[in-house]
Amino acid sequence: MSRILVISNGHGEDLSGCLLAKRLTELGNQVDAMPIVGHGNNYLKNNIRVIGKTRLFDTGGLGYNSLQGRLDDLFNGQIIYFLKKLYLTYSMRKQYDSFLAVGDIVPILFAWVCRKKYFLYLVAYSSHYEGKLVLSWPCRFFLKSQNLKKIYSRDQLTTDDLKNQLKREVNFFGNPFMDIFDQDENKSKNSQINFSLLPGSRIPEIENNFIIMLDLLENLSNYKIFNHFSFNFALVDSFSIKKIEKILNKRNWLHSENRKFNNVIYKFKSIHISLIWNSFEKILSRSDVVISMSGTAAEQAVGLAKPVIQIEGPGPQFTSSFADAQRRLLGNNVFCATKYKDKEEQINETIKIIFKVLYLLKLDKRFLISCEKIAKSRIGKIGACLKISKNIHDYLENER
């Protein structure tokens, strides 16, 4: 049995980290978690012990955030919090045989400072962004460290690129965040078109994104074709029905019915929306089209071979720069209106994209084939958790 500390930086990274931790535990290892940003809810739900005090920041960490978001986190003490986390990890390093870093250079830095042997799932970096990874000096230095035993990449292009640059073994087994889905569930259960709407997961950004999506739906109500489609919001618990009711009542949406305690129906003219909590996997699996203002969830949609339509927002996370990077990462079947003068024109351009995607789904057989190809090359198959965890476990066992 090995003692492993999983270090992750971000909400999506926590999801992958907890899935890997769960598999490593099943293989007989003792695994704890150090989420650098947020409370580590994914770990806690899966009974993985979280080390130290936790704190939630609105942006979910450093990355493609707006300048205002970065400043807010800075003044809210993110740097001090980060240094405290680093010190705590260093002080506890002798309790573990190895680290598993999940994310970007931040968890890599933690592992390197602690001088522990570590494994890396490099989910935050991809050669698809620029065609080739431009590794900064510290990152290149860390990735060549003798303490780094295994690197697991997020796609095949990045794997080949890193092998060439680092002159070392790099593996691509897929992405653990896909393992929450059941492959047999990945299809629509009826003949009507199902839209899933993903406004994100962080308060207060999710509220602003939700309102933007309502603007879109209210405009779609002018087209009779959408009366027969299904629109399903995948929501998190922090965005409560009370908050949503205030927004909908002000906009003249009418309550239609409660199908279950976590499924509430509202309507505007002849368009109906389902507000659904804690059913993300089922909603996404059964959807035909995804309208997204999210991060990892959009990656999961592409992994399930779904076309994704983005709506650029004010942030702090899902900004125009974040959306642009996401399109480069995920390929040609992620669509977005990028040329507009105002909000009204943005909505109208997005509606044009929706009609385009519906046409491709119904009349172009090559489109779904291209979605499948992109899913395989950009995200990989379901089953990565077991492959990565087994690879780590076997390495540690052979070292004994």
Is 125 found in the same domain as 54? yes
| Phi and psi, residue 198, nearest 5° | -120, 95
**What does the alpha-carbon distance between residue 254 and residue 263 come to, in Å, rounded to a whole number?**
15
Q: What is the 3-state secondary structure (H, E, C) of 324-364?
A: HHHHHHHCCCEEECCCCCCHHHHHHHHHHHHHHHHHHHHHC
Q: Does residue 194 share a domain with residue 169?
A: no
Q: Where in the sequence is the domain holding 149, given as residue range(s)?
A: 3-180+382-399
Which pLDDT value is given to residue 259?
73
Considering the domain architecture, whether residues 167 and 235 belong to the same structural domain is answered as no
pLDDT at 64: 46
Per the structure, how many domains does the chain have?
Answer: 2
Question: What is the rounded distance in angstroms from the CA atom of residue 133 to the CA atom of residue 125?
Answer: 8
Same domain, 353 and 236: yes
- In the numeric block, which tokens belong to residue 369? 């084939």
Both 261 and 302 in one domain: the answer is yes
Predicted pLDDT at 76: 60
Regarding whether 208 and 157 lie in a shared domain, the answer is: no
Per the listing, tokens 């009507």 go with 192
Q: Which two tokens stand for residue 63?
A: 């990355």
pLDDT for the residue numbered 38: 84
Q: What is the pLDDT of residue 68?
A: 57
Asked if 212 and 65 sit in the same domain, the reply is no
* Length reported for the chain: 400
Residue 218 and residue 288 in one domain: yes
**Neighbour-count burial of 75, counting CB atoms closer than 10 A to its CB (0-12 exposed, 13-18 middle, 19+ buried):** exposed
H-type helices in the chain, by residue range? 11-26, 41-45, 67-75, 78-91, 105-113, 137-143, 156-166, 205-220, 241-250, 280-285, 296-303, 320-330, 343-363, 365-374, 384-399
User: Do 36 and 158 lie in a common domain?
Assistant: yes
- The pTM score is 0.93
pLDDT of residue 258: 80
Q: What is the pLDDT of residue 149?
A: 98
Note whether 149 and 211 are same-domain residues.
no
- Same domain for 94 and 153? yes
Q: What residues in the chain have per-residue pLDDT under 70?
A: 57-77, 186-190, 261
User: Does residue 45 sit in helix, strand or coil?
Assistant: helix
CATH code where residue 124 lies:
3.40.50.2000
The CA R_g of the chain, rounded to the nearest whole Å, is: 21
208 and 242 fall within a common domain: yes
The pLDDT score that the predictor gives to residue 60 is: 53
